[in-house]
């Protein structure tokens, strides 16, 4: 069924599409003193960010996808990322619901109609956006200072990393998000920033859509091939690339698997952790000295 | 006429009973533990409590929309099956839903649903449904004659074309747009706007009355078009109007609730097994049974693996399909 393939693809894409852009909240934001005490998060990235900001005691509901940090999985579940249960949400009497670009707009509308404060974050495309979101989230829950500090620290670390790799040769990188259909990271994903900060060149930065052909991968000849593990599919994918001997990455055995949970947890803090991993892949020499 | 299992008043009573039971079951179940006994006290307490808003703003709208959409789809199914004398026709066969899906997909990638958030998607769905239904009829109406087989074949082809175009749109759209289209294709009775719910209710009931006027013509058509003409039925006019009614019913349901399969195919067959082939009974009873069936399926979808909500089409497909195969098997064994 085409439909199921597309749905599956779309969940993977979502997971990897990074954080969200704050669309202007329709309801007034709470004043500094009046912080929300019963928060419901409708996305794993948001849940993780709330934990980083140290407001986990105020989170009363999360989705079944919220597995990071492990404690988050113990919270009350209100549905999946795309199918939320409005009845359950109302029952939890939240004073703030934080939605994502994937939350069904009809559900959001319904909650707003019932007078619940709903703020939605849309899908973000780069690191700056990611920080902006984190900051907005911090403001929302009355932890602005903490958010600013964490962002500043992350930026510092990134600058340090960039200094390390700036004089090293830039390698051509191909990051694969999906296997059937083959899906690449384009400019529209924060992973693109990840590659560039780590001193690489994303070979599909210019692609309009991530749907690309294997032929094109062979033609653009990446030096490094990074596959996000989609369950078992990652291993299979690694094998299937072996038959394309002309690709530098295959010739020199530079095919790597990165845990998709990692690559899909977009908060400034985890971004930095991930960046270090990517730098090790691209420039192992930077760490041998 | 074939022998029926029950006489029609009894089977009508049965279907009304089923509808009421399904509605009450739906009203009393959900992820929060508000049961039927709590309904009256909650309503007496008045608005303001979370319980009241769960009942009044979440469960009741879904029941009403389930009633309208389930009824519409079954009614459209009965009309089309009777008109084409083909047991496999359902509202979606004619490509009307494919057209609606295409309309919605276009609306989403053009970003129009952000400009007019409430009305754009249903409106485009409806326009899409009609942009497909009209060519189908026009291609097949020659000299005032409607070619029935042609209508069916063109419908099927157009439905394939639209679904391919929707897949094309999905392939090239961005993640945010992708989810909008997917939600819609999966079908759901969640609808925040009371206005839209009332519109669907109103249209479905109007179409029920209109189609009832043609119930005798449908009975005549069941004997074949030649016979119907000899019986003095204005066959061409009846076919045009019935096709229009079925298109309106399907277009409206699909543009509000997305694509919910199987209701329009299975329910009419069930009702025929129970109440026979007289369209005077068949039309009304299919509407009521379809309404009850969809409300029941939606309640299962909401509660079966709570808090996760399943798409209602999953339940209608599995439940409707298996019940139907079972019933058909029993029938042949006799």
Could you read off the pLDDT of A255-284 as tens digits, one per residue? 888 877 767 667 888 888 888 888 888 888
Position B209 confidence tier, pLDDT thresholds 50, 70, 90: very high
Rounded to an integer, what distance in angstroms lies between the CA atom of residue A224 and that of residue A252?
9
**pLDDT at B203 exceeding the cut of 90:** yes
| pTM, entire model | 0.81
pLDDT of residue A10: 52
Position A21 confidence tier, pLDDT thresholds 50, 70, 90: very low
Alpha carbon A12 to chain centroid distance? 10
Rounded to an integer, what distance in angstroms lies between the CA atom of residue A164 and that of residue A156?
13
Q: Which residue has the tokens 């045009």?
A: B240
Find the range with the poorest average confidence among A17-21, A198-202, A285-289, B166-170.
A17-21
Position A240 confidence tier, pLDDT thresholds 50, 70, 90: confident
Find the range with the poorest average confidence among A16-30, A81-95, B137-151.
A16-30
What integer is the mean pLDDT of B204-211? 96
Between B284 and B276, the higher pLDDT residue: B284
Q: Which of A87, A208, A209 sits opposite B32 (nearest CB)?
A: A87
What integer is the mean pLDDT of A36-52? 91
Alpha carbon A195 to chain centroid distance? 14
What integer is the mean pLDDT of B174-201? 83
pLDDT of residue A60: 94
B111 contacts on A by Cβ (under 8 Å): none
What integer is the mean pLDDT of B217-229? 87
**pLDDT at A289 exceeding the cut of 50:** no
Q: Which residue has the tokens 């309309």?
A: B103
Both structure tokens of A160: 């340090």
A84 contacts on B by Cβ (under 8 Å): 309
- Give the residues across from A123 on adjacent strands: A20
Position B5 confidence tier, pLDDT thresholds 50, 70, 90: low
Position A7 confidence tier, pLDDT thresholds 50, 70, 90: low
Between A11 and B292, the higher pLDDT residue: B292
pLDDT of residue B333: 67
- Determine, for residues A10 and B178 on separate chains, whether the beta-carbon distance falls below 8 Å: yes
Both structure tokens of B250: 């399907």
| A13 in reach of chain B (CB within 8 A) | yes
**For A122, nearest residue in chain B (alpha carbons):** B176
pLDDT of residue A287: 65
Position B174 confidence tier, pLDDT thresholds 50, 70, 90: confident
**For B47, nearest residue in chain A (alpha carbons):** A114
- Report how many Cβ contacts below 8 Å link chain A to chain B: 103
Assess contact for B96 and B252: CB atoms under 8 A.
no
CA B22 to chain A, closest CA, distance in angstroms equals 19
Nearest to B134 by CA among B247, B24, B275, B234: B247
Q: What is the pLDDT of residues B21-47, one digit of tens each?
A: 999 999 988 877 788 888 888 878 877
Specify the DSSP class assigned to residue B34: -
Q: What is the pLDDT of residues A126-165, one digit of tens each?
A: 888 889 999 999 999 999 999 999 999 999 999 988 888 8
- Give the residues across from A59 on adjacent strands: A39
pLDDT of residue B148: 76
pLDDT of residue A31: 44
Tell me how long chain A is: 289
Q: Which of B32, B53, B167 sits opposite A114 (nearest CB)?
A: B53
CA A223 to chain B, closest CA, distance in angstroms equals 27
Position A288 confidence tier, pLDDT thresholds 50, 70, 90: low
Assess contact for A98 and A46: CB atoms under 8 A.
yes
CA B190 to chain A, closest CA, distance in angstroms equals 7
Position B229 confidence tier, pLDDT thresholds 50, 70, 90: confident
Find the range with the poorest average confidence among B4-13, B199-208, B234-243.
B4-13
Rounded to an integer, what distance in angstroms lies between the CA atom of residue B221 and that of residue B243?
13
| A2 in reach of chain B (CB within 8 A) | yes
Q: What percent of chain A has pLDDT over 90?
A: 24
Chain-wide mean pLDDT for chain B? 86
DSSP per-residue string spanning A246-283? TSHHHHTT-EEEEEHHHHT--SHHHHHHHHHHHHHHH-
> Per DSSP, which regions of chain A are E strands?
20-22, 39-41, 59-61, 96-100, 118-123, 171-179, 182-184, 200-202, 224-229, 255-259
What integer is the mean pLDDT of A233-247? 81
What integer is the mean pLDDT of A78-96? 89
Peptide bond into B307 cis (omega under 30): yes
Position A98 confidence tier, pLDDT thresholds 50, 70, 90: very high
Both structure tokens of B213: 């006027």
A102 contacts on B by Cβ (under 8 Å): 179
Assess contact for B102 and B166: CB atoms under 8 A.
yes
**pLDDT at A30 exceeding the cut of 50:** no
Rounded to an integer, what distance in angstroms lies between the CA atom of residue B97 and that of residue B180?
17
CA B329 to chain A, closest CA, distance in angstroms equals 27
| A14 in reach of chain B (CB within 8 A) | yes
**pLDDT at A125 exceeding the cut of 60:** yes
Rounded to an integer, what distance in angstroms lies between the CA atom of residue B12 and that of residue B9?
5
pLDDT of residue A29: 42
Q: Which of B53, B178, B309 sits opposite A83 (nearest CB)?
A: B309
Tell me the C-alpha to C-alpha distance, in Å, between residue A33 and each of A95, A213, B89: 14, 54, 62
| A113 in reach of chain B (CB within 8 A) | yes
Rounded to an integer, what distance in angstroms lies between the CA atom of residue A196 and that of residue A231?
26
Rounded to an integer, what distance in angstroms lies between the CA atom of residue A238 and that of residue A142?
45
What integer is the mean pLDDT of B211-238? 89
Rounded to an integer, what distance in angstroms lies between the CA atom of residue A144 and that of residue A267?
15
Q: What is the pLDDT of residues A163-212, one digit of tens each?
A: 888 888 888 999 888 777 778 888 888 889 889 998 889 999 888 777 88
Assess contact for A286 and A203: CB atoms under 8 A.
no
**pLDDT at B116 exceeding the cut of 80:** no
- Determine, for residues A82 and B58 on separate chains, whether the beta-carbon distance falls below 8 Å: no
Q: Which of A15, A86, A94 to mutate to probe the B interface, most B CBs <10 Å?
A: A86
What integer is the mean pLDDT of B219-239? 87
Contact residues for A124 (Cβ-Cβ < 8 A; gap 6+): A17, A18, A19, A20, A21, A130, A132, A133, A190, A266
Backbone dihedral angles phi then psi of residue A107, each to the nearest 5 degrees: -65, -45
pLDDT of residue A231: 62
- Determine, for residues B182 and A86 on separate chains, whether the beta-carbon distance falls below 8 Å: no
What integer is the mean pLDDT of A51-62? 92
Rounded to an integer, what distance in angstroms lies between the CA atom of residue B105 and that of residue B99?
10
CA A55 to chain B, closest CA, distance in angstroms equals 24
Q: Is A179 exposed, middle or buried (0-12, 13-18, 19+ CB in 10 A)?
A: middle
What integer is the mean pLDDT of B76-101? 86
CA A120 to chain B, closest CA, distance in angstroms equals 13
Q: Which residue has the tokens 């006994």?
A: B37
Rounded to an integer, what distance in angstroms lies between the CA atom of residue A140 and that of residue A36?
8
**pLDDT at B300 exceeding the cut of 60:** yes
**pLDDT at A33 exceeding the cut of 70:** no
Chain-wide mean pLDDT for chain A? 81
**pLDDT at A115 exceeding the cut of 90:** no
**pLDDT at A250 exceeding the cut of 70:** yes
Specify the DSSP class assigned to residue A201: E
Assess contact for B283 and B216: CB atoms under 8 A.
no
Assess contact for B76 and B242: CB atoms under 8 A.
no
Both structure tokens of B266: 């299975």
What integer is the mean pLDDT of B93-115? 83
**pLDDT at B271 exceeding the cut of 70:** yes
């Amino acid at each position: 069924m085409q439909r199921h393939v597309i749905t599956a693809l779309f969940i993977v894409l979502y997971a990897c599409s990074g954080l969200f852009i704050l669309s202007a909240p329709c309801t007034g934001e709470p004043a500094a003193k009046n912080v929300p005490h019963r928060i419901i998060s409708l996305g794993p990235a948001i849940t993780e960010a709330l934990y980083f900001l140290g407001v986990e005691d105020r989170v009363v509901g999360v989705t079944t996808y919220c597995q990071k940090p492990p404690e988050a999985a113990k919270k009350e579940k209100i549905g999946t990322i795309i199918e939320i249960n409005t009845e359950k949400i109302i029952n939890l009497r939240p004073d703030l619901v934080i939605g994502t670009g994937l939350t069904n707009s009809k559900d959001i509308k319904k909650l707003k109609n019932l007078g619940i404060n709903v703020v939605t974050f849309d899908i973000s495309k780069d690191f700056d956006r990611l920080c902006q979101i984190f900051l907005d989230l911090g403001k929302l829950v009355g932890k602005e200072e903490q958010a600013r500090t964490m962002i500043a620290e992350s930026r510092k670390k990134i600058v340090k990393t960039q200094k390390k790799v700036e004089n090293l040769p830039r390698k051509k990188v191909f990051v694969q998000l999906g296997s059937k259909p083959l899906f690449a990271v384009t400019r529209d994903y924060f992973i693109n920033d990840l590659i560039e900060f780590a001193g690489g060149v994303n070979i599909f930065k210019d692609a309009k859509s991530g749907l690309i052909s294997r032929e094109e991968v062979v033609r653009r000849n990446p030096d490094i091939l990074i596959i996000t593990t989609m369950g078992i599919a990652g291993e299979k994918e690694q094998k299937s690339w072996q038959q394309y001997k002309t690709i530098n990455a295959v010739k020199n055995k530079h095919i790597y698997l990165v845990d998709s949970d990692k690559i899909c947890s977009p908060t400034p803090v985890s971004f930095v952790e991930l960046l270090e991993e990517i730098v090790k892949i691209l420039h192992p020499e930077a760490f041998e000295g | 006429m074939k022998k029926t299992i029950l006489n029609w008043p009894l089977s009508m009573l049965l279907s009304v009973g089923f509808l009421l039971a399904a509605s009450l079951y739906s009203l009393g179940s959900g992820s929060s533990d508000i049961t039927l006994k709590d309904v009256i006290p909650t309503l007496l307490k008045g608005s303001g409590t979370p319980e009241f808003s769960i009942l009044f703003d979440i469960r009741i709208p879904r029941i009403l929309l389930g009633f309208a959409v389930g009824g519409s789809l079954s009614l459209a199914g009965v009309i089309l099956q009777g008109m084409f004398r083909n047991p496999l026709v359902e509202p979606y066969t004619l490509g009307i839903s494919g057209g609606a899906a295409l309309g919605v997909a276009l609306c989403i990638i053009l970003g129009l649903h952000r400009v007019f958030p409430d009305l754009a998607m249903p409106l485009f769905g409806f326009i899409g449904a009609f942009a497909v239904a009209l060519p189908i009829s026009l291609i097949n109406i020659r000299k005032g004659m409607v070619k029935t087989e042609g209508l069916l074949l063109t419908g099927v082809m157009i439905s394939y074309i639209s679904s391919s175009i929707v897949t094309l749109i999905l392939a090239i759209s961005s993640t945010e747009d992708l989810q909008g289209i997917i939600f819609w294709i999966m079908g759901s009775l969640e609808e925040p706007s009371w206005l839209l719910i009332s519109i669907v209710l109103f249209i479905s009931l109007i179409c029920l009355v209109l189609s009832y006027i043609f119930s005798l013509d449908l009975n005549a058509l069941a004997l074949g078009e030649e016979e119907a003409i000899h019986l003095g039925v204005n066959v061409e006019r009846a076919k045009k109007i019935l096709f229009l009614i079925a298109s309106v019913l399907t277009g409206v349901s699909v543009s509000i609730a997305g694509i919910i399969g199987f209701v329009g195919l299975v329910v009419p067959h069930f009702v025929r097994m129970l109440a026979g082939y007289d369209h005077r009974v068949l039309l009304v009873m299919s509407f009521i049974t379809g309404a009850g069936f969809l409300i029941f399926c939606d309640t299962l979808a909401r509660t079966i693996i709570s808090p996760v909500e399943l798409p209602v089409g999953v339940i209608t497909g599995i439940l409707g399909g298996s019940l139907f195969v079972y019933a058909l098997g029993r029938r042949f064994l006799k």
